[in-house]
Amino acid sequence: MIVEGQVHGGIAQGLGQAMMEACAYDTDSGQLLTGSYMDYAMPRAVDIPSFKVATTVTPCSHNPLGVKGCGEAGAIGSPPAYINALTDALGVARHRDAGDAGTRLARRQRLPA
């Protein structure tokens, strides 16, 4: 149960990074405009789809307990999975042409009305 929670959190973090997070700076002063949680979007439960986590047991050979971290796995794979799905849905032929396709504004501009 702890591992599943760690992976769920990692996936939510990765999806939040791909879907919502962005640092914005004032072009004149360089001041960070998204410096608080009121401005810097973070995912909430309603923003993340339901999913199931499957695990395998593979003990680490580098320490006597055989333990290793697990939460990072979701945070590493979920941003590219989301961007791949998004570019496929939007019909972007090459991923390097996607640019900022993951931002809310870009999605709003590209999706049909």
> pLDDT for 47-93, tens place per residue?
888 888 888 888 989 999 988 888 788 889 888 888 888 878 877 76
Q: What is the pLDDT of residue 110?
A: 55
User: Residue 70, exposed/middle/buried by CB under 10 A (0-12, 13-18, 19+)?
Assistant: middle
Q: pTM of the predicted model, to two decimals?
A: 0.71
Q: Kindly report which listed range (3-12, 18-27, 47-56, 93-102) carries the lowest average pLDDT score.
A: 93-102
Structure tokens at 44: 């909430």
Q: How many domains does the chain have?
A: 1
- pLDDT above 90 covers a percentage of the chain that reads 9
Domain containing residue 8: CATH number: 3.30.365.10
Which domain covers residue 65, as residue numbers? 2-110
Can you tell me the distance from the alpha carbon of 7 to that of 53, in angstroms, rounded to the nearest whole number? Answer: 7
